[in-house]
Amino acid sequence: MIDELLRSINQLLALDDNDDAEKQRVFAETASPALQALAGQLSTRDVLIVATVAAAQPYPQKALHSAVNTSQPTASRAVERLRKLGLLTRDRIPNNHKEWQLTLTPLGAEVAAAKQALDHALRQQAEAVAAHYTPTELARFKQFVDEIVALKAPRERE
């Protein structure tokens, strides 16, 4: 249940702007000057995209928009921006010249590792908070967050 809650919250956070607190924490806790230089250039959604690609490389670009709860054009623009920033590469899927697959560069892997470390810390904190609630209460909260994401998502997908 905690993973499902965090996934829902990450979707909500992905709708935020370039200065949101989670993204700032990802970059504040790194000693890498290269990562710190990227902080102002990436949105929370960008960081989520990098982490999503890291979880299953090579990642089919066609599946990315639904994984990060955005439109196909928004995901494509983000992929192009992340490619230009040197965080990921995009290549044709072997034996399929119509579709693209995404892989992380070493710098992209650093971003993903920083996001993973923050997610791990947040998961531990969330488990402590969740211990005060029943599974039914947590399921209801997850439903609530999902409904909030659904309310905001149509405006963000334009």
Give residue limits of the domains in the chain: 2-156
Please count the other Cβ atoms lying within 10 Å of the Cβ belonging to residue 84.
10
- The amino acid present at 143, given as its one-letter code, is Q
Tokens coding 81: 């921006």
Which CATH number describes the domain made up of 2-156? 1.10.10.10
DSSP string spanning the chain? -HHHHHHHHHHHHTTS-TT-HHHHHHHHT---HHHHHHGGG--HHHHHHHHHHHHTSSEEHHHHHHHTTS-HHHHHHHHHHHHHTTSEEEEEETTEEEEEEEEE-HHHHHHHHHHHHHHHHHHHHHHHHHTTS-HHHHHHHHHHHHHHHHHHHHHHT-
C-beta atoms surrounding 88 within 10 Å: 27
| C-beta of residue 145 within 8 angstroms of C-beta of residue 9 | yes
Q: What pLDDT is attached to residue 154?
A: 56
Model pLDDT for residues 63-94, shown as the tens digit of each residue = 999 998 888 999 999 999 999 999 999 999 88
Q: For the residues 124-146, what does the mean pLDDT come to?
A: 90
* pLDDT given for residue 14 in this prediction: 65
pTM summary value: 0.71
Residue 158 confidence (pLDDT) above 80: no
pLDDT digits (tens, 9 = 90+) for 28-49: 767 778 877 877 788 878 888 9
Contact 87, 107 (CB under 8 A): yes
